[in-house]
Chain A
């Protein structure tokens, strides 16, 4: 990132740490995300990347350091002597009002139609009238290519469609930041593409995104910054080419090697077809 953008960090984590009991899952995390930047968090399972994302939404309380969203301290307030005190639920809601989140398991509400899922918060939180909420809800469903599914229930949709509804539901609130927690990990392989397509479109429109993902192709193609975590620490970060092509850390090299081996059958396949 250029120096001129150094001060417009929309997410800033400084020295953030998180423990579960005696187990330190995140240590000394510094992360800056700028407006319209796409950051992909990668790393082996158990590396803390999902926990890091959840701390940025305060779905997990962090134990050390600070997280600021658009300049506002998340989850805590400063007491009279400058000490940290827990913020009220209302204050937490207020600070993260511009954050949308998409989950691995979609987390749609099964007793509501697709349109009702998308409009519930518009009506209850943004206080839109039913007509306005429905109009915006339909526009959002249209944006993810599901305008015809408005009256369906989540259980009637494929996983890929459910995840696109979840994205539409988050976008309807006009967030400044979108957090994605392994959005394609629960999907059958042939459904992954349709979700990544929507995410690419969002990135192209300038949405600020932090994505925990195992889709290295997506990270290489869409991310401005790739952050590699291992055992709760940031081990490497940089542009996709820096991280993927010029990996210095042995842990990162090993991690990438696993991906290469998994996809190696493509090469054998291509060879056999060219020889045929």
Chain B
């Protein structure tokens, strides 16, 4: 039988872990999105040098496992004289990595936009900036919203890896509780359930947003 009383007793700790997971993921995502817009811009640049620079970024941060990136940030950088706190290492790892994935998602969206839409905008005198902000980005966000929601969920699950730099997020909290009480089944089930509830909620929020976006236009 499951030890429900133990789970309920430890619920505040588990929820604190969940909150930490959420915070880290949210900040990582926000910074990652800014990185992604920049890298996507590089990848779509007419200049070959900039395209290669963007390509190199993607190669590194999409190619190396997040776990290695985190260990590198936390353990190797201090040896090079760049001491980083666990929180900084965790957020840097998450944002650098999801920035690479989101950049590619956005690039895919830009490539599906017909070239003619930009030509008509430029012929009407719109600046490149207005073209991007008013014509292209709104459509790209719509087109890529399913893939972006997917990426957010992947990010939240990947955030379990930041436990290796000493952040007490949900996974680390469950691990500690399981070890101290010997109730492995209970606490890993509880953690699994909390991740699942969070991600299902996000998926529902995503489909609701998608329907709203569809309603307002093509």
Contact = CB atoms under 8 A, between A and B. Distances in A.
DSSP majority for the A interface? loop
Interface string A106-122: 11111111000000110
Interface residues of A, number: 30
Contacts of A166: 120
B6 to A, nearest CB: 52
A136 to B, nearest CB: 14
DSSP majority for the B interface? helix
Contacts of B216: 111
Q: How large is the interface on B (under 10, 10 to 19, 20 to 34, 35 or more residues)?
A: 20 to 34
A111 B139 contact: yes
Interface string A94-109: 0011011101011111
B125 A100 contact: no
A13 B134 CA distance: 34
Contacts, number: 70
A35 B168 CA distance: 75
Given A109-B135, A153-B217, A120 B117 contact: no
A124 B131 CA distance: 10
Given A105-B114, A124-B134, A111 B218 contact: yes
Contact of B126 (A101, A106, A108, A125): A125
Contacts of B185: none
A120 B124 CA distance: 9
Nearest to A90: B127
Contacts of B121: 109, 121
Nearest to A96: B123
Nearest to A112: B217
A97 B125 contact: yes
A154 B120 CA distance: 15
A57 B114 contact: no
Given A120-B134, A154-B218, A107 B124 contact: no
A170 B218 contact: no
B81 interface: no
Interface of B: 114, 116-117, 119-128, 130, 134-135, 138-139, 142, 216-218
Given A108-B120, A125-B124, 10 more contacts: A105-B114, A107-B116, A107-B119, A109-B117, A110-B139, A110-B218, A111-B139, A124-B126, A153-B217, A170-B123
